[in-house]
Structure 1
Amino acid sequence: MAKLTMTSSRWDELTALLEDEQRLRSEYPKVAEYLDMAASLGGTGDDQADAQFDLRFVHYMTGGSAVSPNPYWDIVEPFVVEHGDRRVVNGGRAEGSPRLAFAQMLLQATYAYAIPSPETIDWIARFCAGFPIVELGAGRGYWAAQLARSVLTIDAYDSEPPDKTSNASFPEVAGQTDVWYPVQDLSDFAARTRPANYVLFLCWPPGWGDTMSSEALAAFENAGGERLVYIGEPRGGKTGNDAFFEALSDRWTLDSTDPHFVSWWTDADLAQGWVRI
C-alpha cells in the first residue's frame, strides 16, 4: 500500500486536532466516532495497512475539498483488490473487516453509496458521448461533482436536497459538506422542458419496493429519453424495484458495463449503460 504523503503544515494541523479531543468531537464528530470505535474493532490483520487507512480517513474527512477533489476515492483506493472479475474494497480479505465495515457506513453517509473511481467517471463520459446528464436521487451531489470535473454537463436533483431539507440517508453533520454540487429539488426537475435530450443517471435508486426508479424511468421514456446510466445492484438487490427492471428488460438493451467499477465487498453494485430499443 502506498503511504499517504502530506505537507508538514498539514501534518501539524492534524497533530493539533488529534491532541485536542474536545475540538475534534465538536468540529468533526464522525471522525471522533470512527477513532473511538476503530480501536475496538478487528482490522485486516495488517496493522500497518490499518494504520495507514485510519490516517487517510482522518486526513481526507477533515480536509474536505481543500485536500482532494475526490476524498472518497483517496481514502479507499489503497484497499481496492481484484476479487474474481470484480474490483472491491475489502483490504485484501474476502470478508473485509469490522473496522472497514464501520468506515463504509460513515463514508457512504458522508459522500455517496457508490464509489466514483476515476476509471468509472471516464467510462460514463465515453458512454454519454457528449450528451448532458441529469441525475435523479443525487444525494449530496458527490457523483455530479466528479462528473462535472470531467467537463461533463450535469444537473442534479433529489427529493430531499441535503442542504435544503432533512435527508435521513445524508444527514447534516458538523465538519461534513452538505452538498458537493448544486442539488435542486424535484419541483425544479418537473419544470424542465421536453424532449429528454440528455442521459438519465440513476445511482443507487432506492430498493425494497420503492417506486422512485420505475417512475423516473417511465417519465424519461415518455419524454423520449434514449440513454441511461444505472449504478446499483441487480434485480432483487438493494436498489431499484421490480417494475424498473421489467422496463429495462422489455424496452432497453444493455450497451456497456464498466469493467473497472469499484464496489464495497458487502455490495453487488455495478455500472451499466443502457440504450432504448
Structure 2
Amino acid sequence: MAKLILTSDRWDELSALLEDDQRLQREYPKVAEYLSMAERLPGVGDEQADAQFSLRFVHYLTGGTSESMNPYWDIVEPFVTERSGRRVVNGGRAQGSPRLAFAQMQLQGVYAHAIPAPQTIEWISEFSGGRPIVELGAGRGYWAAQIARQGLSIEAYDSDPPDSARSISFPGAAGQVDVWHPVGDLDGFAARAMPADYALFLCWPPGWGDSMAFDALTSFEAAGGERLIYIGERKGGKTGNDAFFDALSARWKLESVDRDFVSWWTEEDVAEGWVRA
C-alpha cells in the first residue's frame, strides 16, 4: 500500500490540531467523531494499513492538499482489492471491518455514495461521446466536479442542494465542503432548454419505492434523450424503483459496463451505460 507522504509543516499542523481536542471538535467534528470511534472499533487486522487509512482520512478531511484533486479516491484507493471479479474497498478482508464500515458512512456523507475512481471518470467520458452531461440527484456535486476535471461539460441538479437547502443525505457540518461543483435545484433543471441533447447521469438515485429515477427517465425520454449513465444497484437493490428498471428493460439497451468500477464491499452498485433501443 502506497504511503501518504506529508511535509514537515503539514505534520506540525496535524499534530497541533490532534493535540487540541476542543479545537478538533469545533473545527472538524466529523474527524473528531471518526477518531473517537476508530479507537473502539476493530480494523482490518493490519495495524500499519489501518493507521495509514486513518492518516489519509484525517489529512484530507482537515483540508489537506490532494494532488489528484480527488481526495475521496486518495483515501480509499490503498484499500481496493479484487473480489469475485469486482473491485471493492475492503482492505483485503471479505467482510471489511467495523472501523472501515464507519469510515464508509462518514465518507459517503462528505463526498458521495459511490466512489469516483479515475478509470470510471474516463469511462464516462468515452460513453458520453462528447455530449454534455446533466446529473440529477447530484448531492454535493462531487462526481460532477470529477467529471468537469476531465474536461467534460456537466450541469448538476438536486432537489435539495446542500449549500442552499437542508439535505438529509448530505447535512452540513463545520470543516467540510457543502458542494464541490455548482448544484442547481429542480426549478433550474426544469428551465433548461429542450430537447435533451445531453447524456443523463443518475448516480445512486433513491430507492425503496421512490419514483425519482423513473420520473427522471420518463422525462428524459419525452425530451428525446438517448444516452443514460447509471450508477447504482440493480433491480431489488438500494437504488431506483421497479418501474425504473422495467422501463430500462422495455425501452433501452445496455451498451457499456465499466469493469473497473470500484464499490464499497457492502454495496452491489455498478456503472452502466444505456442507449435507447
**What range describes the TM-score normalised by the shorter chain of this pair?**
over 0.9
Q: Distance in 1 between matches of 2:217 and 2:211?
A: 10
Equivalent residues in 2 for 1:97-136, closer than 5 Å? 97-136=97-136
Question: Are 1:195 and 1:223, in contact at CA under 8 Å, matched by a contact in 2?
Answer: yes
TM superposition shift of 1:116: 0.1
Superposed CA RMSD in Å reads 0.9
**When the two structures are superposed, what TM-score results if normalisation uses the length of structure 1?**
0.99
- Structure 1: distance between partners of 2:135 and 2:3: 35
Structure 1 residues 196-230: Cα deviation after superposition (integer angstroms, max 9, x where no partner): 00000000000000000000000000000000000
How do residues 87-236 of structure 1 correspond to structure 2 at under 5 angstroms? 87-236=87-236
Q: Distance in 2 between matches of 1:219 and 1:146?
A: 26
**SS of equivalent residue, structure 1 residue 63:** coil
Aligned amino acid, residue 110 of structure 2:
T
Contact 2:110 2:176 in 1 (8 A): yes
Q: Tell me, yes or no, if the aligned pair for 1:120 and 1:261 is still in contact at 8 Å.
A: yes
SS of residue matched to 2:62: helix
Count of residue pairs brought into register by the alignment: 277
- Structure 2 unpaired stretches of 5+: none
1:37 aligns with 37
State the 1:192 CA deviation: 0.7
Aligned to 1:76: 76
Paired residue for 1:268?
268
Return the alpha-carbon distance in structure 2 between the equivalents of residues 193 and 152 of structure 1: 19
The 8 Å contact of residues 60 and 68 in structure 1, kept in 2 or not, is answered as no
Distance in 1 (alpha carbons) for counterparts of 2:64 and 2:19: 20
Query: What is the aligned partner in structure 2 of residue 14 from structure 1?
Result: 14
8 Å contact kept, 1:64–1:177: no
Which blocks of at least 5 consecutive residues in structure 1 are unaligned? none
- DSSP 3-state at the match of 2:197: coil
| Residue identity opposite 1:88 in structure 2 | V
Q: How far is 1:69 from its partner?
A: 1.3
AA of the residue aligned to 1:28: Y
What amino acid is aligned across from residue 39 of structure 1 in structure 2?
E
Structure 1 stretches (4+) deviating beyond 4 angstroms? Answer: 64-68
What is the rounded CA distance, in whole Å, between the counterparts of 1:66 and 1:161 in structure 2? 24
TM-score normalized by the length of structure 2: 0.99
Q: Deviations 1:92-127 (Å, cap 9, x if unpaired)?
A: 000000000000000000000000000000000000
Q: 1:65 to 1:199 in 2, by over 3 A?
A: farther
Matched residues in 1 for 2:67 and 2:259: separation? 29
Residue number in structure 1 paired with 2:56:
56
